[in-house]
Amino acid sequence: MSDKNYYFMRSLFFISFLFCALHCFGQSPEMNINKDYFLLGTLNDYMGRDKYSEVANRVDEYYPNEKPLMSFLDSIYKNSYPDLALSTSPQTGRLEFRSTLLAQKINDFYEYQSFGRGMYCGKADFKTLNLDSLAKTPDFRSKYFEPVYTGSVKADIFTSDSERFSFIAGAFIRFGGKKDSLYYISIPNSTSKVNVLTEQLKYLKCTNVNYVIKKDYIPCGHTVYFTPTEELKNYLETSYRKYKYL
């Protein structure tokens, strides 16, 4: 099986589990899924979370093989957020979820800072600009570029183990796997999420928690390895059992 098919099947597998967890096990504390923290766990963290006007209503962007995950998220949010819509990024060609209210809610989980980056906001085609000439004008940057703020996941957003489990499950579904007896979650160029995951796994008393940064790689690798507690392991292993019979 190719890597692409493997990740596609793994996504289907976990989506089936989570659908059952939300709709069949809603009354069980052990299987309770907090959808906002689950969504937060799935969000990409490549160079952080960007915030500027063009993406103000963007929840996240996805590769085509992640449609099963998008379908699941749509199923649990569309009734609460009727403006939730699927679109395609004209810049990258990737799929996107857009919702002003949901994006605002998710952004509250982040701390934003400016690191001097800017996004072109002029009306003319950027490729047609005479940059050598324009760069010499005093208002070049303020007129043609708006600040890009980079978001890092806040460390103090968790108030229950249900939130922690949901966050870890979301991250594991999209970015994780299992190598022998070790579980792992890997996000390239992560600015905060893998670190927050590491802290929450330690809080839950998982063992062999090891945050590995591969600085010599491009993109820079950020991976946390861990052996889950029995409770967390059962939480994840249930997905296999549910998927097997669906």
Cβ atoms of 76 and 22 closer than 8 Å: yes
pLDDT confidence band for 83 (50 / 70 / 90): very high
221 by DSSP, 3-state: which?
strand
pLDDT confidence band for 243 (50 / 70 / 90): very low
Q: What is the pLDDT of residues 15-49, one digit of tens each?
A: 555 555 554 444 343 557 789 999 999 999 999 99
- Say how far apart CA 136 and CA 198 lie, in whole Å: 46
> Class assignment of domain 3-45+62-82+158-244?
alpha beta
Sign (positive/negative) of CA torsion 25, 244, 74, 48? positive
> Which pLDDT score, from 0 to 100, does residue 77 have?
94
> Which pLDDT score, from 0 to 100, does residue 3 have?
46
Nearest Cα neighbor of 226 from 174, 173, 166, 186 is 186
Residue 76 clears pLDDT 80, i.e. is over it: yes
Per DSSP, helices labelled H in 25-160 are 35-42, 67-77, 100-107, 131-134, 140-144
Range in 94-98, 194-198, 239-243 the model is least confident about: 239-243
Residue 7 clears pLDDT 50, i.e. is over it: no
> Which pLDDT score, from 0 to 100, does residue 24 have?
44
Q: CA 7, 72, 42: angle at the middle one, nearest 5?
A: 60
For residues 153-169, give the mean pLDDT: 93
Cβ atoms of 242 and 16 closer than 8 Å: yes
Nearest Cα neighbor of 26 from 37, 13, 35 is 35
Q: Mean pLDDT in the chain?
A: 81
Q: What is the pLDDT of residues 107-156, one digit of tens each?
A: 999 999 988 776 666 555 555 655 555 565 666 566 667 889 999 999 89
pLDDT confidence band for 102 (50 / 70 / 90): very high
pTM recorded for the entire structure: 0.80
- Say how far apart CA 39 and CA 182 lie, in whole Å: 24
- Say how far apart CA 83 and CA 101 lie, in whole Å: 8
